[in-house]
Amino acid sequence: MSLFFRRLRFLLALLFICLVTAYSLSRLGYFEWPRDYDPLALPDLDAAPNFLTPFKLKLVDSAAENCRAAFARAGKVVTIEPAQIASALCSREDTIKLGSLSTATLRVEETRCAIAARLFMWEHNVVQPAARKFFNEPVAEILHFGSYSCRTIRGSSAASEHATANAFDISGFRLRSGKRVTLRQQWQGSQPPAEFLREVRDGACDYFNVVLSPDYNADHHDHLHVDMGWYRTCR
Ligand SMILES: [Zn+2]
Protein backbone atom coordinates (compact mmCIF):
# COMPACT_ATOMS: atom_id res chain seq x y z
CA MET A 1 0.00 0.00 0.00
CA SER A 2 1.35 3.39 -0.93
CA LEU A 3 2.09 6.05 1.64
CA PHE A 4 -0.82 8.10 0.29
CA PHE A 5 -3.39 5.36 0.98
CA ARG A 6 -1.92 4.62 4.42
CA ARG A 7 -2.31 8.29 5.32
CA LEU A 8 -5.81 8.42 3.84
CA ARG A 9 -6.80 5.33 5.87
CA PHE A 10 -5.38 6.91 9.02
CA LEU A 11 -7.25 10.17 8.41
CA LEU A 12 -10.55 8.36 7.73
CA ALA A 13 -10.14 6.29 10.91
CA LEU A 14 -9.39 9.47 12.88
CA LEU A 15 -12.46 11.19 11.42
CA PHE A 16 -14.62 8.19 12.30
CA ILE A 17 -13.36 8.14 15.90
CA CYS A 18 -13.95 11.91 16.21
CA LEU A 19 -17.52 11.55 14.88
CA VAL A 20 -18.35 8.64 17.21
CA THR A 21 -16.86 10.49 20.19
CA ALA A 22 -18.72 13.71 19.37
CA TYR A 23 -21.99 11.85 18.83
CA SER A 24 -21.58 9.96 22.13
CA LEU A 25 -20.90 13.24 23.97
CA SER A 26 -24.02 14.78 22.41
CA ARG A 27 -26.12 11.80 23.55
CA LEU A 28 -24.77 12.39 27.05
CA GLY A 29 -26.05 15.95 26.84
CA TYR A 30 -22.76 17.85 26.47
CA PHE A 31 -23.97 19.66 23.35
CA GLU A 32 -26.77 19.52 20.85
CA TRP A 33 -26.21 17.43 17.72
CA PRO A 34 -28.22 18.87 14.78
CA ARG A 35 -31.53 16.94 14.68
CA ASP A 36 -31.50 16.66 10.89
CA TYR A 37 -28.23 14.72 11.12
CA ASP A 38 -29.08 12.58 14.14
CA PRO A 39 -29.98 9.08 12.88
CA LEU A 40 -31.70 8.29 16.19
CA ALA A 41 -33.93 11.39 16.19
CA LEU A 42 -37.43 11.29 14.70
CA PRO A 43 -37.69 13.15 11.39
CA ASP A 44 -39.13 16.64 11.24
CA LEU A 45 -41.92 16.06 8.73
CA ASP A 46 -41.62 19.65 7.50
CA ALA A 47 -37.81 19.66 7.13
CA ALA A 48 -36.04 19.26 3.79
CA PRO A 49 -34.98 15.63 3.29
CA ASN A 50 -31.33 14.57 3.47
CA PHE A 51 -29.36 11.32 3.23
CA LEU A 52 -30.55 10.26 6.71
CA THR A 53 -34.27 10.69 5.94
CA PRO A 54 -34.80 7.01 4.92
CA PHE A 55 -33.29 5.88 8.26
CA LYS A 56 -35.40 8.38 10.19
CA LEU A 57 -38.53 7.15 8.41
CA LYS A 58 -37.64 3.62 9.59
CA LEU A 59 -38.01 4.98 13.14
CA VAL A 60 -41.47 6.27 12.22
CA ASP A 61 -42.37 2.84 10.79
CA SER A 62 -41.07 0.91 13.79
CA ALA A 63 -43.77 2.09 16.23
CA ALA A 64 -47.09 3.89 15.88
CA GLU A 65 -46.14 6.02 18.89
CA ASN A 66 -43.07 7.29 17.00
CA CYS A 67 -45.28 8.23 14.07
CA ARG A 68 -47.72 10.07 16.35
CA ALA A 69 -44.78 11.90 17.95
CA ALA A 70 -43.37 12.91 14.55
CA PHE A 71 -46.74 14.46 13.64
CA ALA A 72 -46.83 16.21 17.02
CA ARG A 73 -43.40 17.75 16.27
CA ALA A 74 -44.89 19.13 13.03
CA GLY A 75 -47.74 20.67 15.05
CA LYS A 76 -50.40 18.12 14.13
CA VAL A 77 -52.32 16.13 16.74
CA VAL A 78 -53.17 12.68 15.36
CA THR A 79 -54.76 9.71 17.09
CA ILE A 80 -53.76 6.12 16.40
CA GLU A 81 -56.99 4.22 15.72
CA PRO A 82 -57.73 0.85 17.40
CA ALA A 83 -56.68 -2.13 15.26
CA GLN A 84 -59.42 -3.59 13.06
CA ILE A 85 -58.89 -7.13 11.76
CA ALA A 86 -61.48 -7.89 9.08
CA SER A 87 -60.11 -11.20 7.75
CA ALA A 88 -56.86 -13.06 7.17
CA LEU A 89 -56.23 -10.73 4.23
CA CYS A 90 -57.66 -7.44 5.41
CA SER A 91 -56.83 -5.39 8.47
CA ARG A 92 -56.13 -1.87 9.65
CA GLU A 93 -53.42 -1.37 12.24
CA ASP A 94 -51.54 1.77 13.26
CA THR A 95 -53.87 3.94 11.21
CA ILE A 96 -54.90 7.57 11.66
CA LYS A 97 -57.71 9.64 10.17
CA LEU A 98 -55.95 12.08 7.85
CA GLY A 99 -57.72 15.26 6.76
CA SER A 100 -54.89 17.72 6.20
CA LEU A 101 -51.17 17.87 5.45
CA SER A 102 -48.77 20.81 5.86
CA THR A 103 -50.88 23.18 3.73
CA ALA A 104 -53.37 21.17 1.66
CA THR A 105 -56.46 19.47 2.98
CA LEU A 106 -57.96 16.21 1.77
CA ARG A 107 -61.26 14.38 2.19
CA VAL A 108 -60.72 12.61 5.53
CA GLU A 109 -59.29 9.16 4.96
CA GLU A 110 -58.04 6.46 7.34
CA THR A 111 -54.57 5.28 6.40
CA ARG A 112 -51.50 3.81 8.07
CA CYS A 113 -49.62 6.48 9.99
CA ALA A 114 -46.44 5.57 8.09
CA ILE A 115 -48.24 6.40 4.81
CA ALA A 116 -49.64 9.62 6.27
CA ALA A 117 -46.18 10.77 7.43
CA ARG A 118 -44.78 10.24 3.93
CA LEU A 119 -47.75 12.01 2.33
CA PHE A 120 -47.05 14.95 4.66
CA MET A 121 -43.36 15.11 3.70
CA TRP A 122 -44.10 14.65 -0.01
CA GLU A 123 -46.79 17.36 0.03
CA HIS A 124 -44.53 19.79 1.92
CA ASN A 125 -41.25 19.14 0.13
CA VAL A 126 -42.37 18.17 -3.40
CA VAL A 127 -46.01 19.04 -4.20
CA GLN A 128 -46.16 22.60 -2.85
CA PRO A 129 -42.79 23.70 -4.33
CA ALA A 130 -43.81 22.19 -7.70
CA ALA A 131 -47.20 23.96 -7.58
CA ARG A 132 -45.49 27.29 -6.90
CA LYS A 133 -43.04 26.62 -9.74
CA PHE A 134 -45.61 25.62 -12.40
CA PHE A 135 -48.73 27.55 -11.31
CA ASN A 136 -47.45 30.25 -8.97
CA GLU A 137 -49.97 29.21 -6.33
CA PRO A 138 -50.24 26.44 -3.73
CA VAL A 139 -52.24 23.25 -3.80
CA ALA A 140 -55.29 23.67 -1.55
CA GLU A 141 -56.59 20.10 -1.74
CA ILE A 142 -55.21 16.67 -2.59
CA LEU A 143 -57.89 14.69 -4.47
CA HIS A 144 -57.85 10.95 -3.87
CA PHE A 145 -59.56 7.59 -4.26
CA GLY A 146 -58.71 6.45 -0.75
CA SER A 147 -56.41 4.09 1.13
CA TYR A 148 -58.12 1.06 2.69
CA SER A 149 -59.87 -1.40 0.40
CA CYS A 150 -60.22 -5.11 1.18
CA ARG A 151 -59.12 -6.60 -2.13
CA THR A 152 -56.43 -8.47 -4.02
CA ILE A 153 -54.14 -6.98 -6.66
CA ARG A 154 -56.11 -6.87 -9.91
CA GLY A 155 -55.56 -10.10 -11.89
CA SER A 156 -53.79 -11.82 -8.96
CA SER A 157 -54.64 -13.67 -5.74
CA ALA A 158 -52.14 -11.66 -3.68
CA ALA A 159 -53.50 -9.08 -1.22
CA SER A 160 -53.21 -5.49 -2.36
CA GLU A 161 -51.37 -3.09 -0.05
CA HIS A 162 -54.76 -1.35 0.07
CA ALA A 163 -56.05 -4.34 2.08
CA THR A 164 -53.96 -3.13 5.03
CA ALA A 165 -54.32 0.64 4.35
CA ASN A 166 -50.63 0.57 3.44
CA ALA A 167 -51.27 2.43 0.17
CA PHE A 168 -52.91 5.60 -1.11
CA ASP A 169 -54.41 6.52 -4.50
CA ILE A 170 -54.06 10.18 -5.50
CA SER A 171 -56.26 11.33 -8.37
CA GLY A 172 -55.29 14.99 -8.62
CA PHE A 173 -54.93 18.39 -7.02
CA ARG A 174 -57.12 21.45 -6.52
CA LEU A 175 -55.16 24.71 -6.56
CA ARG A 176 -55.99 27.71 -4.37
CA SER A 177 -57.67 29.44 -7.35
CA GLY A 178 -59.98 26.46 -7.72
CA LYS A 179 -58.28 25.11 -10.85
CA ARG A 180 -58.06 21.30 -10.86
CA VAL A 181 -55.13 19.26 -12.13
CA THR A 182 -56.10 15.60 -12.53
CA LEU A 183 -54.13 12.60 -13.70
CA ARG A 184 -57.06 11.43 -15.81
CA GLN A 185 -57.22 14.65 -17.83
CA GLN A 186 -53.76 16.21 -17.71
CA TRP A 187 -51.13 13.47 -17.57
CA GLN A 188 -50.54 13.51 -21.32
CA GLY A 189 -48.68 16.29 -23.13
CA SER A 190 -46.02 18.82 -22.24
CA GLN A 191 -48.15 21.59 -20.76
CA PRO A 192 -47.35 22.84 -17.21
CA PRO A 193 -50.02 20.57 -15.62
CA ALA A 194 -48.43 17.48 -17.23
CA GLU A 195 -44.95 18.60 -16.17
CA PHE A 196 -46.22 19.25 -12.66
CA LEU A 197 -47.77 15.77 -12.45
CA ARG A 198 -44.53 14.10 -13.61
CA GLU A 199 -42.48 16.11 -11.12
CA VAL A 200 -44.71 15.12 -8.18
CA ARG A 201 -44.69 11.48 -9.37
CA ASP A 202 -40.87 11.45 -9.50
CA GLY A 203 -40.65 13.18 -6.12
CA ALA A 204 -42.94 10.58 -4.52
CA CYS A 205 -40.33 7.92 -5.31
CA ASP A 206 -38.01 9.49 -2.69
CA TYR A 207 -40.54 8.71 0.04
CA PHE A 208 -42.54 5.60 -0.97
CA ASN A 209 -41.32 2.11 -1.86
CA VAL A 210 -43.81 1.81 -4.72
CA VAL A 211 -45.10 4.57 -6.99
CA LEU A 212 -47.29 3.65 -9.97
CA SER A 213 -48.53 6.30 -12.42
CA PRO A 214 -50.34 6.22 -15.78
CA ASP A 215 -46.89 5.32 -17.25
CA TYR A 216 -47.19 1.91 -15.53
CA ASN A 217 -50.42 0.52 -16.97
CA ALA A 218 -53.99 1.37 -17.97
CA ASP A 219 -55.30 0.50 -14.48
CA HIS A 220 -53.44 3.58 -13.24
CA HIS A 221 -54.57 5.97 -16.01
CA ASP A 222 -56.37 8.19 -13.52
CA HIS A 223 -54.32 8.04 -10.33
CA LEU A 224 -50.95 7.85 -8.65
CA HIS A 225 -50.71 4.75 -6.47
CA VAL A 226 -48.17 4.96 -3.62
CA ASP A 227 -47.48 2.25 -1.07
CA MET A 228 -44.97 0.91 1.45
CA GLY A 229 -44.92 -2.70 0.29
CA TRP A 230 -41.72 -4.72 0.46
CA TYR A 231 -40.39 -4.15 -3.06
CA ARG A 232 -39.39 -0.95 -4.78
CA THR A 233 -40.58 0.40 -8.07
CA CYS A 234 -41.12 3.86 -9.51
CA ARG A 235 -42.98 4.01 -12.82
ZN1 LIG B 1 -53.69 1.94 -5.35
- CA 115 to ligand 1 center in whole angstroms: 12
% of residues, the chain, pLDDT over 90: 75
Centre of ligand 1 from the C-alpha of residue 169, in Å: 5
Give residue 90's pLDDT.
95
CA of 220 to the centre of ligand 1 (A): 8
Write the pLDDT tens digit of every residue in 48-81. Answer: 889 999 899 999 999 999 999 999 999 999 999 9
φ, ψ of residue 54 in degrees (nearest 5): -60, -35
Average pLDDT score, the chain: 94
- Using one digit for the tens of pLDDT, what is the confidence trace for 22-36? 888 888 888 787 888
Residue 25: the pLDDT is 81
pLDDT band at 185 (very low <50, low <70, confident <90, very high): very high
- The answer, yes or no, to whether residue 179 has pLDDT greater than 90, is yes
**Residue 153 pLDDT:** 87
pTM: 0.91
Burial of 105 (0-12, 13-18, 19+ CB in 10 A): middle
> Exposed, middle or buried, 129 (CB in 10 Å: 0-12/13-18/19+)?
middle
- Does pLDDT of 101 surpass 90? yes
67 Cβ contact partners less than 8 Å away, ≥ 6 residues apart: 60, 61, 78, 80, 94, 96, 113, 114, 116, 117
189 confidence band (pLDDT: 50, 70, 90): confident
Q: Ligand 1 center to residue 128 CA distance, Å? A: 22
Which of 180, 215, 188 has its CA nearest to residue 201?
A: 215
Residues with CB under 5 A from ligand 1 (ion): 167, 169, 225
Residue 227 CA, ligand 1 centroid: distance in Å: 8
Break the chain into its structural domains and give their ranges.
Answer: 1-33, 38-234
